[in-house]
Amino acid sequence: MALSRILRSSTNLSATSLIANQLTRICRSFASTSSTSSSAASSDYYDVIVVGGGLVGNAMACNFGLNSNFQEKKLLLLEAGGTRSLGAPSKLYSNRVSAVSPSSKRLFQKLGIWDRLEAYRVKSVRQLQVMDSCSQSAIHFERQSFQSEVAWIIENDAIIGALFDKLASDCSKNVTVKSKARLKSCSLPADTSELAQVVLEDGSVFETKLIIGADGAKSKVREAMEIGYTGWEYGQKAIVATLQVSGGADNEVAWQRFTPFGPVAILPLSANLSSLVWTTSPDKCDQLLALNEDEFVDQLNEALWSEETQDSFVNKALFTVDSMLSTVLPATSVVQLPPTITGLQSDSRAAFPLGFGHAHTYVKPRAALIGDAAHRVHPLAGQGVNLGWGDVQELIEVLQKVVRSGGDLGSMTSLAEYDSRRQMRNVPTMVAIDWLNRLYGTNFAPVVMARSLGLYGVNRFGALKNLIMDRASA
Amino acid sequence: MRTTARCRRLLPLRADLGRCLRTSLAAALQRPVPLHTNAAVFAASFSSSSSSLAADNSDVVAPSVDDYGSAGLAPIPTKRLLHSNLTTPSLSSAGGNDVFGFPLISNKWFKQQHNANQLRKLHTTAVDAPATKLSSIDNDDVTRFARLSGEWWDERGALKPLHSLNQARVPWIRDTLGSRTSKSSTTDDGRSSLAGLRLMDVGCGAGVLSEPLARLGAHVIGLDAADDAIDVARARTRLDPDLKRANIEYRCGSVESFVADNPKMVGSFDAIVASEVIEHVLSLESFLDACVQLVKPGGQLFFTTLNRTLLSRVMAIWVAEDVLGIVPQGVHDWNKFVPPNDLAALLEARGCNVRLLNGLCYNPLMNKWSWVADTSINYALMARKEA
């Protein structure tokens, strides 16, 4: 009796589920006919989807939105957090800043956000001074030409905010920004016969011709691309903070002192404030973060000024070489002394781990990587985000050629061009940065000697120095 | 069952071509992916020599068969060219590609491989093509076809050079044609530079060239005899939102039969494009007859193809087939390559003036084509029908 009832109820169940199935099928077919009748204007298709609304992803969306070639194309920018706006300057500086290179400045001018940023606050850097804690060798970069700035220090939040504002004001026609959009998965086809698909955690699905992964070092887009990736952690952490300094007249010099634990960089923010990027071992990092403000400042001054690790033999050798060379080549620049740190602007200390990462290819059919998703470097040269902005410019150039010749935005033939051009530019820089970090990660005397003489040599020979400077700021 | 049938059908084919070796047949049987253009012309030649084939493929057969095919080109009109009215497009106007000097050898090499693949597939296609299945295709079929015939749109596969050739030929066609429309001269970008023009892409395959031309605003009819390729091309028009909006349609058949079946379209096209096609055509004269008929008076004809020179013979036949063994022996017929002078003379005889002639050079390392002065391997030619 009971059994038969169960049976009956189960048959009832299957009948209802059958009806439900039928209903959903009808609904679906209805929906599909209605979507085909509304043609390509259906809301879930975008020509390009940028994943990640950070420094690089926003620049990509903005560049796309302002370019006349893409006025009939639609772009969707997915940002996991919220959008920000650039308001009045806050009293406190953010502890995350970027050293914007001259070519990145040109990009900002093209995007029409440079004046806005300058009105907010931008600190120009006229000189760059690199020192070795193990010897007296130092190098000094300064522009000889009329353009006197080496770089500009700008807070990351300000750049992101200015880009969001620009997107809202001038790009709303063809760029849609979706905030709080967390990527769940994306599926990429083997070739351009199908569209790529993006699924968000809230269940919404978008189709596109091209997914641009600007979602940082742990990129989900890169994961979905299933490409080779070489990466490692440096076993180093970087402490960032906003510092009060005294000493330099206008505070227009960016300082970097290499210590065996890692480089300490002091980047000017204003006449009496600087931003700190202190690379050190994880243990030392934890200790430093646990200290109170005064103790932390003492430790930092020691790291900047300490003579403990100086190698006297190397110094003697340097002195000899210098006195010999000075008879032929007069000294060109005077070594300046780093500023003295007097305190912190509130307690703005924070730390993050450092690593290296390199995607073996930046492209797949219907997908491309830009910024940290494609390459992650040590912050010691301030190059990371500038490489990303370089990616943006190259990718835009390739895509506008595609549009002008009627191609498919996700076509491999064109994307491969982006890939090879950017790899050619990025990989040597990445390798150089990695080697610099290794070269200065030791106090082994022969290495100290070699690097000191090398740094000295580069400093004395203008042509070589200019070459390096042009490369770093290009 | 299917395979043995194809085997049996291929036997007369082998006898017909005479030089097809076992290797190429084996390869063709292992990879029966039907691909490519101009099957009609081949089918025509098969049918003229083998009645059983003709029965199987009655409606793929081209109507007119001027059978001078394998012996080489027909006698060429004595009028020898022509240098006065040949001009060279500036590199910038034709796409502005970098010129890489070296790759003549590899270029040939690649081209050979690509042609061999296409020919191999063509043989199977021409013989095996089912007569009529061009009608209604549902969406499941669309995706299935797109996946099945992935090779056409695998930009890193056998047809890789054909895809990158777009970077040279689309700007070439766009700028040559676009300069005639007032609209494009006012816009700084090429988005809709071909708006309002009617084009036919003869031997369109799966639409590798038709699609970009349609995206640029032209009304494009893509014509190809291989119905599998046409199926792939049609499937893409339903998947790609750009193409849904664009004005593009595909027809299956030969250009000669198209003229016969669509008398109203004769003289209606602003331009005819036959890219990488005429080196496969057996009856170039009837092919050109049809093309010239379709184009408007004052309209333009665009060709890209391979030259018949000592260099191409050495690289294509000797190096690629005998020395390196990359290409199955006998698959490629150097005799069907068309020297630009011959093509120009044939066009002049049909009331067209050759306006542009340029060499194209492929760099396999960068997968990039560039415009060069030397036309001894690949070249592009544009002619204008007298008004």
Highest mean pLDDT pick, A86-95, A300-309, B22-31: A86-95
B211 has pLDDT over 50 = yes
Contact B244 A69 (CB under 8 A): no
The CA distance from B94 to B379, in Å, is 13
Residues belonging to chain A with any Cβ–Cβ distance to chain B shorter than 8 Å: 39-40, 45, 47, 68-69, 71-72, 190-195, 365, 400-401, 403-408, 411-414, 416-417, 420
Contact A405 B164 (CB under 8 A): no
What average pLDDT does range B359-377 have in this prediction?
87
Nearest CA-CA distance, residue B208 and chain A, Å? 9
Question: Quick one: what percent of chain A has pLDDT higher than 90?
Answer: 49
Interface test with B, best of A29, A399, A405, A419 (most B CBs within 10 A): A405
DSSP state of A144: -
Domain segments of chain B: what residues?
Answer: 83-385
Q: Is pLDDT larger for residue B290 or for residue B193?
A: B290
B188 has pLDDT over 60 = no
pLDDT value of position A4? 45
Split at pLDDT 50, 70, 90, the class of B140 is: very low
> Measured between beta carbons, which residues in chain A are less than 8 angstroms from residue B150?
190-191, 193
Contact A404 B188 (CB under 8 A): no
Nearest CA-CA distance, residue B190 and chain A, Å? 5
Residue range B236-257, pLDDT digits in tens: 898 888 888 888 999 998 899 9
DSSP secondary structure string for all residues of A75-132: EEEE-SS------SPPSSPPS-EEEE-HHHHHHHHHTT-HHHHHHH--EEE-EEEEEE
Residue range A262-285, pLDDT digits in tens: 889 999 998 889 999 999 999 999
What average pLDDT does range B25-37 have in this prediction?
35
pLDDT value of position B339? 93
What average pLDDT does range B126-153 have in this prediction?
42
Domains of chain A (ranges; CATH) run 45-473 (3.50.50.60)
Residues belonging to chain B with any Cβ–Cβ distance to chain A shorter than 8 Å: 95, 143, 146-147, 150, 153-156, 160, 163-164, 166-167, 170-171, 174, 188-191, 211-216, 232, 235-236, 239-242, 244-245, 366-368
Lowest mean pLDDT of A311-320, A379-388, A461-470, B222-231, name the range: A461-470
Contact B146 A68 (CB under 8 A): no
pLDDT value of position A159? 95
- Report chain B's mean pLDDT, rounded to a whole number: 66
Residue B224 known to bind ligand: yes
Closest by Cα among A193, A233, A218 to A378? A233
Lowest mean pLDDT of A93-97, A107-111, B48-52, B154-158, name the range: B48-52
> Measured between beta carbons, which residues in chain B are less than 8 angstroms from residue A401?
167
pLDDT value of position A7? 41
| 3-state SS class at B352 | strand
Among A40, A407, A416, the residue with its CB nearest the CB of B166 is A407
Lowest mean pLDDT of A306-310, B161-165, B175-179, B226-230, name the range: A306-310
* Other C-beta atoms lying within 10 Å of the C-beta of residue B139: 12
Environment class of residue A361 by beta-carbon count within 10 Å: exposed (0-12), middle (13-18) or buried (19+)?
A: middle
Nearest CA-CA distance, residue B60 and chain A, Å? 27
Among B167, B232, B244, the residue with its CB nearest the CB of A413 is B167
Residue B285 known to bind ligand: no
User: Number of C-alpha atoms within 13 angstroms, CB side, residue B121?
Assistant: 23
Residue B83 known to bind ligand: no
Closest by Cα among A106, A103, A84 to A156? A84
- Report chain A's mean pLDDT, rounded to a whole number: 83
CATH architecture, domain B83-385: 3-Layer(aba) Sandwich (3.40)
What's the full length of chain A, in residues? 474
What average pLDDT does range A455-463 have in this prediction?
75
B134 has pLDDT over 60 = no
Interface test with A, best of B145, B165, B208, B240 (most A CBs within 10 A): B240
Split at pLDDT 50, 70, 90, the class of A74 is: very high
State yes or no: ipTM above 0.95: no
Split at pLDDT 50, 70, 90, the class of A31 is: very low
Q: Is pLDDT larger for residue A168 or for residue A459?
A: A168
Residue B114 known to bind ligand: no
What average pLDDT does range B277-300 have in this prediction?
91
The CA distance from A126 to A159, in Å, is 21
